[in-house]
Structure 1
Amino acid sequence: MGRLYYSTNIDAIEIPDRVLAHLRTLTTTKLRRSESFTASFCHSGGRSTIWLHCSIPLRFEFDSAEPEALDREYLEELARSASASGGVVIDLTDSEVADRGPEPLRVAASHLGRAA
């Protein structure tokens, strides 16, 4: 389980390494182009949303020393979602997300319907 540290907050958002690797790739690509977006995380207590902008410090921390293999289709889904008004939505309550291994990842299904 990796961690995303947002701004100067000492509390981290825990995200499976594989999902975090995709989010990091999307975020660095978008912020390099000065494109900001929102990312929402569904968790047991509801949903939290953060605004990702190049002026806000971010730190991605992975448990694994080995880089994760990236799924091109998942990155494209994340990019489409990031460009939509609802932003990226990642369901952290999905217990299968961390255990999927090489299987393709998917953006939270409830969000895809709104982004289309």
Structure 2
Amino acid sequence: MGYLIHGGNTYEFEDRVLAHLKTVIGQKLRKQECFFLSWTKSPETGSGRVSVWLSPQIAIAFRFSGSRPPQLNPDWLKALTALAHTPRGLVVMSEDEAESYARRQLVKI
């Protein structure tokens, strides 16, 4: 498990999820864009939803538990990036959900 550290708070994510989030968040912040990052908590971690406002003015760090970076899935990145550009903001989704989302979007084109 890795950690996203933002504004004095620490949020836990699996390393593979965190690697994809890091890429998309980095792209948005590099463009000086502000946005929400949202996810659903599992019942083991108390259930509910979390939304965090990300902006270039607030320090953010990513700490991974593994020593090797995971391979990135282009479809997962496309889905996360597409969501990050909506009013809802970047929504954390599983790799399977992202691949399904990417397929649905390609059908619409």
Q: TM-score, normalised by structure 2?
A: 0.80
Two-structure CA RMSD over aligned residues (Å): 2.1
Q: Please, which moves more after superposition, 36-45 or 59-68?
A: 36-45
Calculate percent identity across the aligned residue pairs. Answer: 34
Please name the residue that 1:5 is paired with.
5
Per-residue deviation at 1:106? 3.1
Q: How many residues align?
A: 97
- For residues 5-55 of structure 1, the C-alpha deviation after alignment (integer angstroms, 9 at most, x for no partner) is 11123xx21101001000000111111111121111200320010011100
Q: For structure 2, which runs of at least 5 residues remain unmatched after alignment?
A: 101-107
SS at match of 2:92: strand
What are the residue-to-residue correspondences of 1:46-65 with 2, within 5 Å? 46-65=48-67
Q: TM-score, normalised by structure 1?
A: 0.75
Q: Please say which structure displays the higher CA radius of gyration.
A: 2
Please name the residue that 1:113 is paired with.
none
What are the residue-to-residue correspondences of 1:1-116 with 2, within 5 Å? 1-9=1-9, 12-43=10-41, 44=43, 45-90=47-92, 104-107=95-98
- For residues 38-91 of structure 1, the C-alpha deviation after alignment (integer angstroms, 9 at most, x for no partner) is 111200320010011100111101010101110111111001100001112225
From the two aligned structures, give the one with the greater helix fraction.
Answer: 2
